Amino acid sequence: MTIGTGSGLLSTSETERSMIERPSAGDAPEDTLREMAEMLRDARPGMLVSGITVAAVTVGVAVETVAVPVKLHAGVGTVIYLGLLAVVALCVIRTAILMIVAGRPLMDQLGELRRLTGAPVDPKVPWTPMRRLPVMSPRAVGERAQAVLAAAHFRNSRIHLALTWATFAIVCFCAWSLALLILAGRI
């Protein structure tokens, strides 16, 4: 089995060998920075897909309720129709909430890191802060890096959970559309 990398293809044994020879992420600062950059970059596509899914399902529900009028009668079909609509709404709300709160712990950790290092809030400003920076021990730097990595991992797990809920919203939307067409007598 081969694995694609930026420099080419590696066999599994070469990959395992390079992982054994390479120091762990906690040993080398370059590896920690690389892992942090990968985790920060990893979440963008998931957020984009979740956002597009929420928007598409919301627009789809609005269009279908206007385009296919349904007369609701007391019965099993109406209960299924309204139940599926409620599940679609809950899935969309859950996805949106997960997307909103996903980045908060990471932003808190990065803000704390910015405060500790004395970095300006806006990196484009031409001046630097005048306060004297505290000397941080290597252990404190490592703990701060681990906290940022943990927050990035937490954000990624929330985004993956949002993707799961977005997928469930699509499935429920399709089921709701089918129930809508059956109740309207179009199928």
The DSSP output letter for 160 is H
Q: What is the C-alpha separation between 169 and 91, in angstroms, rounded?
A: 5
Query: Which two tokens mark 66?
Result: 């206007």
pLDDT (mean) for 124-132 = 62
The DSSP output letter for 186 is -
Q: What is the C-alpha separation between 162 and 95, in angstroms, rounded?
A: 5
Query: Which two tokens mark 138?
Result: 């290597």
**Please, what sign has the CA dihedral across residues 99, 124, 28, 109?**
negative
pLDDT of residue 17: 44
Q: What is the pLDDT of residues 135-153, one digit of tens each?
A: 677 787 778 778 888 888 8
Query: Which two tokens mark 126?
Result: 């031409």
pLDDT of residue 19: 42
Query: Which residues, including other chains, have CB under 8 Å from residue 2's CB and lie 6 or more apart?
Result: 9, 10, 11, 12
Contact between residue 84 and residue 177 where contact means Cβ atoms under 8 Å apart: no
Query: Which two tokens mark 6?
Result: 């930026």
Q: What is the pLDDT of residues 40-59, one digit of tens each?
A: 677 778 888 889 999 999 99
Q: Evaluate if residue 27 carries a pLDDT over 90.
A: no
Contact between residue 57 and residue 92 where contact means Cβ atoms under 8 Å apart: yes
Q: What is the C-alpha separation between 65 and 89, in angstroms, rounded?
A: 14
Q: What percent of the chain has pLDDT over 90?
A: 22
Residues in the chain, total: 187
Three-class SS state of 133: coil
pLDDT of residue 18: 44
